Structure 1
Amino acid sequence: MRRHYAMLLRRAASLPSLPLVASLHAAALRRSAVLVPSLIHAYSACGDLSSARNLFDELPAQGRTLSARTALASAMSAHGQCREVLGLFDGLEDDMDDKSVTVVLTACARAGMVDEGRKVFATVTRPALQHYTCMVEILGRSGEVEEAEGLVARMEVCPDRVICAVLLALCRVHGRVDVAERVVRLMWQYGIA
């Protein structure tokens, strides 16, 4: 039954149909709190962030799971409330998973919160490629293109096309041809072309 509601919520979010999401919300919550992240996403996709926030706020403490927080953080970030995203994870930094870290770093990038992004990134024991990509974007948007390049050079994982494309785009924005040339050499070195 949960899969059925999850599928319906994805469909409602893709339409987007707020009346359909609201009726699914009422029916789904009677059955399972597991669907809360899907409901939050669906409300966000329909442009109704206040309903997504109200849904989260009305949850009991044990219902405010990491996936629900991450879904709300993603919705808030998508709707321009990036600074508020960090508050959702106060005191929970050690419990964040890859997805929640990526959502928070993305919010930091969107809002130009370089110091906050650095702090979040520093808490990650083994950063994944998407974390590095977010951090490159955070640094690059603030004009720290060489620092972003250095981060890519020191990564524990191999760079991919996405992170190189982000770095090259930042080089273009900031007029850093010298860094762009080094990035192209790095791409050749790793067989990324």
Structure 2
Amino acid sequence: MRRRYAALLRRAASLPSFPLVSSLHAASLRRGALLVPSLIHAYSACGDLASARNLFDELPPEGRTLSARTALASAFSAHGRSREALNLFSGQEEAEMDGQAVTVLLAACARAGMVGEGRRVFARVRRPALQHYTCMVEMLGRAGEVEEAERLVAGMEARPDRVICAALLAACRVHGRVDVAERVARFMHRYGIA
């Protein structure tokens, strides 16, 4: 039953159809199959951030799971409210965040140009994954910190991919850093990234 509602909510969010989302919400309540993260995402996709927030706020403290908090942070970020996304995790230990939560927070910082906050979030991650590095490169690139982004890619433990290199090259193009772009091209050749 839960899978069925989750699939229906994903479909409603992709339309986006507020009447469908609200009717699925009501039906899931009646059947006891409340899928908070899916509902938050669906309401956000429909542009109804207030309903997404209300859904989260009405949860008991034990219901405010990491996945629910991450879904709401993603919704806030998508609607240009990055500071509120970060506030959802203020006071949280890094052990209380998973890779998806870190990605959402770093993406929020990148969208809002909150470089200092992004650096602080990234510094708390013990073993950053490739998507965390990619978010950092996008954030630093948007802020014009192209050389810092280049150093980050060169020093990361994970093997770089085409996406992170493309983000770095885009920053080079925007900020006219041909010198860095040439080094990135050599870097890509060395790793066999086309």
TM-score (norm 2): 0.97
- Local SS of the residue matching 1:89: coil
How do 1:84-123 residues align onto structure 2 when only pairs under 5 Å count?
Answer: 84-94=84-94, 95-123=96-124
Once the two structures are TM-superposed, the CA of residue 29 in structure 1 deviates from its matched residue by 3.0
Quote the Cα distance in structure 1 between the aligned partners of 2:29 and 2:169. 46
The residue number in structure 2 matching 1:54 is: 54
In structure 2, relative to structure 1, the CA distance for the partners of 1:107 and 1:22 (3 Å cut) is same
User: Structure 2: where are the runs of 5+ without partners?
Assistant: none
Q: Deviations over 1:110-147 (max 9, x none)?
A: 00011100000011110000000001111111111000
Distance 1:28 1:92 in 2: 30
User: What is the aligned partner in structure 1 of residue 175 from structure 2?
Assistant: 174
CA distance in 2, matches of 1:135, 1:93: 20
Query: What amino acid maps onto 1:6 in structure 2?
Result: A
Report the residue type matching 1:165 in the other structure: A
Q: Does residue 21 of structure 1 match 2:26?
A: no
Counterpart of 2:79, as a letter, is H
Runs of 5+ consecutive residues of structure 1 not aligned to the other structure? none
Count of matched residue positions in the alignment of Structure 1 and Structure 2: 192
- Paired with 2:93 and 2:167, the residues of 1 have a C-alpha distance of 26
- Counterpart check, 1:144 vs 2:145: yes
**Take 1:123 and 1:32, find their aligned partners in 2: how far apart are those partners?**
35
Deviation at 1:14, TM superposition (A): 1.2
Matched-pair identity in %: 79
Cα distance in 2, alignment partners of residues 99 and 61 from structure 1: 21
Q: Matched residues in 1 for 2:38 and 2:29: separation?
A: 11
Question: How much has 1:37 moved relative to structure 2?
Answer: 0.2
Shift of 1:32: 2.9
Amino acid at match of 2:97: M
TM norm structure 1: 0.97
Q: Which runs of 4+ in 1 moved over 6 A?
A: none
